[in-house]
Structure formats: structure tokens, C-alpha cells
Structure 1
Amino acid sequence: MDDAILSLALLIILARFSEEVASRLRQPLLVGHILAGVILGPAVLGVVKPSPELRLFIDIGIYLMFFLAGFEEIDIPGLLTVIRRRIFYASLLAYVIPLAVMFIILAQMGFGYVRALALASVVSMSSLGVITFVLMELGMLKNPIGLRLFSVVAIVEFMAILSASTSLEFITENKTFTLENIIIIPLKVIAFFTVGTLAGLYLVPKILEYANRLRVKGITYGLIFGLLLLFVYFAEVSGLHGTIGALLFGAVLSPMPSQFHLEVNQALRGISHWIFIPIFFAGIGMFLDLSFTTVDTTLLVSFIFVMTVVRFLSGFLAAHLGGMEPRSLISLGLLSKGGIDLAFMLSFFEAGIIYSDIFSLYILVTIFIVVVTPVVIRYSSREIPREEKQPELMDFILPMYIRMALSGLKAGDAMDKDIPAVGKEVPAVEFLRQHVKTGRSSYLVMDGEKVVGVISIHQVGPAPKRVRKEAKVIDLAVKDFPRAFPEEDLYSVVEKMTLNNISIIPVVSPDEPDKPLGVISRSDILKLLIKPTK
């Protein structure tokens, strides 16, 4: 136990100091964490070795990684909205090509179909966390190119998680791809997901709502962490891998209202990124040893070739077919590694799917990609296209991107004090003429100084000609509409506008809910989401 405590202390201290070095070198922080494990582990000093106590902390880091992946990076409603768009099919192509190439190579080398699919899924996976860091560091996250790249990587990562998770379940239960297993295992996963989703949607919010009324400070944070471990436990009891439970817990909490989302984020992000995730990545580095030198030459070359050349070329082809520019930057972004993929590989290692030679090889290639990719993207981003029309970019915006881009902003930050208003008794035909003069598309309907409705040109235009001649603005307006408050979270305002299908919302004081201080429109939100390319 004393040795385990010393090992844990050394890993945490060196990981945090290495994080500072990585930051100064403009590298993702995980580079510093992994190198701390490499230095302390068998590859260099050999002062820290895996032990059951240390593995427990590393496993908790894995569960938190999967939880945060489900909570922050898996956006099922958003992905469903893009499933018929070109970006989805382009992303699918960027993932399937390297997946198929790696699968065929591994199957031919005798890995077995399940093991081959598991490894190929992770080899083909991109890292949304790493590419987000790179785009933010370059100031590109909110410009058109960064938005495209973010969305493509999010879709690729999601598909890879599904594929790798399915493979992990087959191997956890020592199953093969028979017709019976192909039916039974997905049914077991669906059953667990159904029960877990119902618990996450109805039981967990009530527990946390009750906890918020208690006097003890920080009880919510402890409850969320405890509930996460319960989901992991019940996944294991159900015959599934614990990471599936952590992933599900994050995914079912992700669509919750913004205030709830913020509370959960505050509860687990701090403890995750301060302690357990650095330990996890340092633990990854600790598993690196010289055993990769014994890997079969064909397999070694295939791994490197698929993780770099094949993934780059498939990304380039996908960008071309999806009409995304610049193609080279999109394909470079898809090379990103070093996040949930490492968590999967460690899970595979612990499950006996791979051994230290392949694990060490993957860690080494991943470190190289993580270090080189940001540098190459920085260089490539010097020559990028000029600004494009914003409406064309709406196909690339996922709700998870909106949540992240608007994080920390209040309604007052986006409020326009120049209020577009129209009197409630104005004839609809006169309203249309006013629209032509002003160029505005959405207005507040006013009764003196009191707001009584919201209306847009899209509500009046489709109305029959006879109705437009006889109707007044108030007759066609939305009269049951929400309000926003200056200190309200901006993403919460976006949710209100989406749920009520309105394109403008009045910002009011809680004391005077009918007297607008300003407005927020969809165009105001879009300006915050997308910055022109300089």
C-alpha cells in the first residue's frame, strides 16, 4: 500500500508539472500527462509499476473519460439532424475506409473477426477533445473551417465509439460473430440502455433536485460521482463492460436543461481534469515499454500506414465529396488522436484483446500524432479560404457545438437594444411593406410599451392572400411566447427559442416581464457561433 501511495503521488506531481511544459510548447495537455508516465514507468526510470491500487485510480479515470465523452461529445439528437446531409455521409466515408482496410489486414493476419473489428474501430477513431483544443488554440473554433472540422470529427468519433463498444461487449462475453450472438448481445445492450435511460431521465434529476434543497454544500457533486459508479457497477453486473455504463450515464444526462448541464459539468469536470484524467493518461504512459520492437513487421507497418496515410487520404476524399474546404486541413484534423481511443485501448488491454506489444506500439504512434498534428495544422491554416455565407454553414452546426460555443455567455451579452417592433393593430399587408424597407425578418408585437407577441415574415408570407388583407399583426403573431432574462444562460435562451419555434425572443427584467429591454434573434446567435475567416 505504501508503494502504491508513493507511485500515485509521483504520477500526480509529475503529470501536473509536465502539463505546464506541454502548455508552454502549445501542445495538448495529455502529452505532458503521458510523458510523465513514460518517464516514471518501465520505459525510463522504472520507479512506478502497475499495482491493483494504482489500477483502481486509472480505472476511475477511464470511467470519467467515458462519462465525459457521453456527456460532452455524444450528441445523439444533433447527429440525427445531420443524418441526411452531405456532412454525415462524408464523415461516414472518412471512418469506414480506414476501418475496412485495418479490419481486412488484421483478419488476414489471424486476429479473428471480433478482435480485428475492435482494433480497427479504435485505429480509425479521431479525437474530438484534441481537435477542439487545437482549434481553440488557433482561434479557429468559431470560424467556418473550424466548425466543419469540429462537426466531422464529432461524427467520426461517435461512429467509432459505437463500433468499438459493440466489439468490446462481444469480447467481454467471449462471444463470436454468430447469428445468435449478433441478436442476443445487442438486445442485452438495448435492455440496459433502456433501463439506464429511464433512470437517467426520471430518477437522477429528482435525486439531484432533492439534493439541491439540502444544506450540505457539495452534496450534488458527490451524488453525481456516486451515481456514475453505480451505473458502472450495474453494467458489470448485467454482463456488460463498465465503460458502457459510464458512457450511458453521460449520454442520458447530456440533453438535460442547460442549468442542470452546468451543475453536472462543474461537479465532475474539476475532479476529472485535476486528478483522475491526468492519472489515467500518466497510467497510459506507464504501460509503454520496448515490447513494441517485437511486433511483426507487417503489423507494425500496417498500423502506422493506416493511422496516418490511409486516414489522411480517406479524410481528403471525404472532404472532396462533402464539398468541404480546405480539404488538406479537414483531413489533417481527422488524424487527431489521444482521447477516448486510448481509454478503449487500455480496456482492450485489460480484457486481453491486445498485449503489451500492440498497446505500446499504439501509444507510441499516438504520441507522435498528438505532437505533430497541431504543428502541421497551424502551418496549413495560414492559407485558408475567405469568408463564406453563414447560412450555408447551418448544416454543420450540432447542438453540442452550440452549447460549447455559448458556454459562459448570458442573455445580456447577446441582447440587441435596438428593438424591432410593430404595433399589434398594424395590418398584415402593411407589416410586409415595413419588412421590405427595414430588411428585418422578426419583430416584437407591441401594445404601447407592452410586448404581446412575436412575429416573423415567415408566419405572414405563407398565409392566404385573403387572410393577409383582412388580418392584423396580432392575429398572426405567436402570443404564447417565452421571455429571456439578462442573467440567464444564453444556451438556455436558445433552447427556449428552439422548443417554441420562434426566431426572436424579448429580453425582460424579472420585475417587468412585459417591458422589453432588448431582443435576441437567431441571427444574433449565429454571429456568436460563427466568426468570419480573416
Structure 2
Amino acid sequence: MTFEAILYIGVLILSAKLFGELLHRIKQPTILGNVIAGIIVGPALFALVEPIDEIELFISIGVFFLFFLIGLEEIDVPGLFRVLRKRIFAGAAVAFLVPFSAASALGIATDMEFVNAFAIASVIGASSLGVTAKILTDLGKLRSTLGLEIFTMTAIVEFIAIIFVSVMIQINSAGDVTEITDIAWLFIKMIIFFGVAGAFSVFVLPRIMRGIKKHLKAKEIYFAAVVGFILLVAYFAEISGIHGAIGALLLGVAVSRMPREEYFEISKSLHAVGYGIFIPIFFAGIGLHFLPNFWNLPLWIIVGFLAVIVGVKFFGSYIAAKFARMRPTNAVAYGVMSKGAVDLALMLSLLSSNLLEEDLFSLLVFGTLMMMVLSSVLLQKSLKKIVQIKIGSSEIGMMPLYFRKAVSNLKVEDVMSEKFTRVPHTLTVSEYLQEYPDADKTSYLVFDDAENLLGAVSPKEIKKVTKDMRSMVQIGKIVYPNIAHVTLDEYLFSAVQKLNSQHFHLMPVLSLDYQHVVGIVNDQMIMDLLVQEEQK
């Protein structure tokens, strides 16, 4: 590495942190200051820093760190699947598809290839959870049910956009893809990589990390191992034909399922080095690639894309909030339409994949920065007016990552109820339905004569029994025995993770010696806790 590159990196780090601090002081996203720093010191203005190869290496590492942290802190696959059939997921799909459709049509109208148009439209349709979560936290609304609604829908839109962009990059990297078999092979390759990498991350990596922590005593070796795995997964993703950032994202998603202590240790360490050095360089690097020559584009293209990024994106988010019956509609829309780190990272990925020209890249960056400021100001203004906090809705998804941010220090004993129904196993299905009229909508725990827990029964198990057999079949015969459980001293977000892994909406709480069921915890109890925490 030349001394010139060392100078450039020093200037980028200092300028990015300085302008990030300035924007933070005026209550704007820090990453906005990072990008502005890159524009000021880069070729667009003073040309103090050039995007040479050594800088590009740091930018690439920053992308890997960013997507790993997004997977670690913002994407929760079980939580997303939990709301897959609910209105909130349909609303999120609307929030993505409205600007995606408009941007696709505009791209095709400018004679783009379909892959390019769809890739760019996917980025425009994206939302960014980071900015929204920061505003909700700063205003004390993260622990409200309204905060959960905005958080959940924005996370789903972000996830949909990442998947769409990943597919477009994969199709583009494969070259001339025209046959159905070619497209099918692309998806098979992606599924194989996700399957292998996911299995490694879930079943092998946690054991390796625990072994490292237990047997190796060198200082910071645990942290170094995580960094090494991020880079290795990104490398193997690239040689498998998958963008390295997606590999890092997948690793982050897997690591997010680790126990609380290990999760926070990894998160804290990666935050320090990621947001301390590499990620600010990455966002400043976007500024280095920003050139004001986008003003040379035809006026209708400039106006068209800015109108989609701002106007259509808000319209789609507003319609989505209406469709999902979220109130107040404007506040939800302002949160869901937010732009930020994910959008900028995906744009740079499209630029490096030759799916995006430099002039259009600069235009989209400009529009995204505008939207970051606009959505941030409007969301803050809207939330400050909201005093009444809503009670939880069963339509809301239970997102472990949300509870990790909102109530990470609370334990199961803070929310559980000691009063719960014990269904005897000798009841027939008919007697059960007569004695518990809401049994077709909710779940109950089933016990034997010695008060030992046999499992749980839900409407799903009841539907398996034909009506003519219900007077003969006992509840104890259809009970689901492998229900997840928690103990009194487990943390709340761990309980939410377990709730998402099953179709039951309640879990037994066991005593510390695992001998007795001392209570239950369910979705509504956690919702009520959010309201109580907000009122405090």
C-alpha cells in the first residue's frame, strides 16, 4: 500500500466522523454526514481523495461489515415468516411493489435492459430500518406498539428489497440468461449456497465460537475469529457466484440466533471496529463515486426518478399503512418510506456489478439523501405529536430483533402470568370444545393426573380430528408434546425467538429446577408489557 493511500484513508476517516458528528448534532442520520464528507473531499468538490484500488478494498470490507451487522441486528427470518400470512406482510409487499413498479416502468422507458431496470427499481422500493429505529429510540417510541408496527413493516420491506437485488445481481453475473433452465440453475446455485452456508452458520459456527471462547485465552481472539469468518464467508460467496455482501448478511442472520451473552459480545465488538472505521469509509466512498454530472441527464429522467423516490415511495407507504389498518397512517408511512444504509449499499453493489451507470448512480444517491432528510424530519415531527399509545394487535409480528432493542434487559419473570388454565388429558375433544368455547382460536397446556405437563393443544391439532371421532378421542392423545419452554431467568427476546419457532402463541414457564410449570407467557402479555414500558 502506498503512502498516498494511507493519506487518503486518514482523510476519509477523519472527515467522515467529523461530518457524521455535525449531522448527528442537528438530529439527522450520521451516514448522511459520512456521504457528504466523501463528496466534499472527493472528485466532486475538492478532489483531496481519489477512489484508488486501496480505497476500494476498504470500501468492500465496509460493505461486508455493514451487511453482517444488518443481518445481525435488522433481519429476523423466523419473525418474518411468523407474519407471512398476516395483513402487515401484505402491507409491506404493497409498500415495496408500488415504487418498484413505477421505477421499473420508468427504467424501461429509458431503454434500460430488464435486469438493470428491475435491479434499480428494487433499490428504489427498499426501505432502511436503521434510520427509522434510531428515530424511534431517540423519541422513546421504540417500546410502543406503534413503534413495533413501523419497525416490523420496515424490516419486511428491507428484506424483500435485498432478496430482489440479490437475484438481479446473480442473473447479471451469469451473463446471457435466456432459457428457463438457466434461470432455474441460478436459483438452484443460490439455494445450495444459502443451504450450505446456513447449515454451517447454525450448526457448526456456534460450536466453533464456543470452543474458541472456552479453550483459547489470547486477548480479543474471539472477536478476531468473527471478523475472519465474515471475510471468509464473503469470499466463498463471491466464488460461488453470490455477492459477498449477501454471504455476510446470511452469516449475520445466523449469528443473531446465538445466546444473548455471545450475541451482545459480538455485536459490541463489531460495532466498534465496523462503525468506527470501515463503515464510515464505505459511506464516504459512496461520496467519492458521486459526481454532479447527473444534471446532464434529460430533465424528464431526473424529475421522473426523483418523483418516484420521494412521491411514489411515500404514496406506496401510505397505501400500505391503510391496507394494513395501521394508525396514525401518516406516521407509519413516514417510517416505512425511510431510506438509508441499505439503499446506499445496494446502489454501490449495482454500480460495481455494472448494473448502474455513474450518472444515474449519482442521481439515485442524491434522491436517497433527500429522502433520508425528508423522512427523518417528517417522522420526528409526526411522532412528537402522538401522545396516546395503542394496545397491541394480534396482526403485529413478534420480532426478536425488535425486542432485543426495545426491552433487552427484561426477563421472562417480568412478563409471565402465574394464572393459567390446566386442561386435563382425559377430556374428549368434544368435551374440550364445550368447556373451552375459545378453543378454536387459542391454545392451552395439557397436564396428566400427576400435574406433569404433556404438551399443548391448538386449533391445528383439533382440526386433525374428524367430527365423528371427537366424542371418542381424548385430548391427551392429540397433544403436541414438543412445545418450547422458557425458565424464569431467561431474557425476553429469547422467549420471543422460541415463540416464533412454533405455531403456538404461548409457552410454559418452568421453575429454575425445571421441575414445575409456574406460569405462561404469550404474545399479548409481551404487547401489554410494551405499553407499560412506554407509559413509564
For normalisation by structure 1, the TM-score amounts to 0.83
User: Identity rate of aligned residues, in percent?
Assistant: 32
Equivalent residue for 2:120? 119
Q: 1:302 to 1:209 in 2, by over 3 A?
A: same
1:411-453 per-position Cα deviation (integer Å, ceiling 9, x unaligned)? 565578xx5599999x999xxx9xxxxxxx99999xxxxx976
**Separation in structure 1 between the aligned mates of residue 111 and residue 86 of structure 2, nearest angstrom:** 38
**Cα deviation, residue 234, structure 1:** 1.1
**Separation in structure 2 between the aligned mates of residue 170 and residue 499 of structure 1, nearest angstrom:** 33
Q: Superposition RMSD on alpha carbons, in Å?
A: 4.0
**Separation in structure 2 between the aligned mates of residue 393 and residue 424 of structure 1, nearest angstrom:** 24
**Separation in structure 1 between the aligned mates of residue 83 and residue 422 of structure 2, nearest angstrom:** 38
**Cα deviation, residue 214, structure 1:** 1.9
- 1:273 alignment partner AA: Y
Q: 1:172 to 1:94 in 2, by over 3 A?
A: same
Q: What SS is found at the alignment partner of 1:139?
A: coil
Aligned residues of 1:454 and 1:505 also touching (Cα < 8 A)? no
**Cα deviation, residue 248, structure 1:** 2.2
Q: 1:178 to 1:452 in 2, by over 3 A?
A: closer
- 1:129 alignment partner AA: G
Q: 1:529 to 1:48 in 2, by over 3 A?
A: same
Q: 1:209 to 1:55 in 2, by over 3 A?
A: same
**Cα deviation, residue 151, structure 1:** 1.4
Q: What SS is found at the alignment partner of 2:47?
A: coil
**Cα deviation, residue 157, structure 1:** 1.1
User: Aligned residue pairs: how many?
Assistant: 518
Q: 1:9 to 1:181 in 2, by over 3 A?
A: same
**Separation in structure 1 between the aligned mates of residue 297 and residue 401 of structure 2, nearest angstrom:** 40
For normalisation by structure 2, the TM-score amounts to 0.83
**Cα deviation, residue 205, structure 1:** 1.7
Equivalent residue for 1:85? 86
**Separation in structure 1 between the aligned mates of residue 209 and residue 350 of structure 2, nearest angstrom:** 34
Equivalent residue for 1:144? 145
**Cα deviation, residue 362, structure 1:** 1.6
| Bigger mean CA offset, 289-298 vs 341-350 | 289-298
**Cα deviation, residue 198, structure 1:** 1.9
Q: What SS is found at the alignment partner of 2:89?
A: helix
Q: What SS is found at the alignment partner of 2:215?
A: coil
- 2:4 alignment partner AA: D
**Separation in structure 2 between the aligned mates of residue 347 and residue 424 of structure 1, nearest angstrom:** 55
Q: 1:531 to 1:314 in 2, by over 3 A?
A: farther
Counterparts of residues 453-464 of structure 1 (less than 5 Å): none
1:31 aligns with 2:19: no
Q: 1:422 to 1:242 in 2, by over 3 A?
A: closer
Equivalent residue for 1:66? 67
**Cα deviation, residue 268, structure 1:** 2.2
Q: 1:70 to 1:481 in 2, by over 3 A?
A: closer
Equivalent residue for 1:348? 350
Equivalent residue for 1:244? 246
1:233-285 per-position Cα deviation (integer Å, ceiling 9, x unaligned)? 11121222222222222233333444443343234232212221111111112
Q: 1:213 to 1:155 in 2, by over 3 A?
A: same
Aligned residues of 2:508 and 2:517 also touching (Cα < 8 A)? no
**Cα deviation, residue 309, structure 1:** 0.8
**Separation in structure 2 between the aligned mates of residue 424 and residue 354 of structure 1, nearest angstrom:** 61
**Separation in structure 2 between the aligned mates of residue 304 and residue 95 of structure 1, nearest angstrom:** 16
Equivalent residue for 2:43? 42
- 2:11 alignment partner AA: L
**Cα deviation, residue 140, structure 1:** 1.6
Equivalent residue for 2:377? 375
Equivalent residue for 1:191? 192
**Separation in structure 2 between the aligned mates of residue 189 and residue 343 of structure 1, nearest angstrom:** 20
- 1:350 alignment partner AA: S
**Separation in structure 1 between the aligned mates of residue 379 and residue 528 of structure 2, nearest angstrom:** 25
- 2:369 alignment partner AA: I
**Separation in structure 2 between the aligned mates of residue 525 and residue 190 of structure 1, nearest angstrom:** 35
Equivalent residue for 2:286? 284
**Separation in structure 2 between the aligned mates of residue 103 and residue 481 of structure 1, nearest angstrom:** 45
**Cα deviation, residue 22, structure 1:** 2.0
**Separation in structure 2 between the aligned mates of residue 65 and residue 507 of structure 1, nearest angstrom:** 38
- Any stretches of 5+ residues in structure 2 without a counterpart? 436-442, 463-473
1:101-158 per-position Cα deviation (integer Å, ceiling 9, x unaligned)? 1111111211110100111110111111111112112222222322211111111111
Q: What SS is found at the alignment partner of 2:84?
A: coil
- 1:158 alignment partner AA: F
Q: 1:175 to 1:251 in 2, by over 3 A?
A: farther
**Separation in structure 2 between the aligned mates of residue 478 and residue 199 of structure 1, nearest angstrom:** 29
Equivalent residue for 1:437? none
Aligned residues of 1:386 and 1:533 also touching (Cα < 8 A)? no
> Which of 215, 232, 235 is the equivalent residue of 1:233?
235
**Separation in structure 2 between the aligned mates of residue 521 and residue 396 of structure 1, nearest angstrom:** 13
Q: What SS is found at the alignment partner of 1:407?
A: coil
Equivalent residue for 1:275? 277
| Bigger mean CA offset, 402-411 vs 374-383 | 402-411
Q: 1:259 to 1:482 in 2, by over 3 A?
A: farther
Aligned residues of 2:145 and 2:390 also touching (Cα < 8 A)? yes
Counterparts of residues 119-518 of structure 1 (less than 5 Å): 119-216=120-217, 217-384=219-386, 386-390=388-392, 392-411=393-412, 420=419, 488-495=490-497, 503=506
Aligned residues of 1:99 and 1:123 also touching (Cα < 8 A)? yes
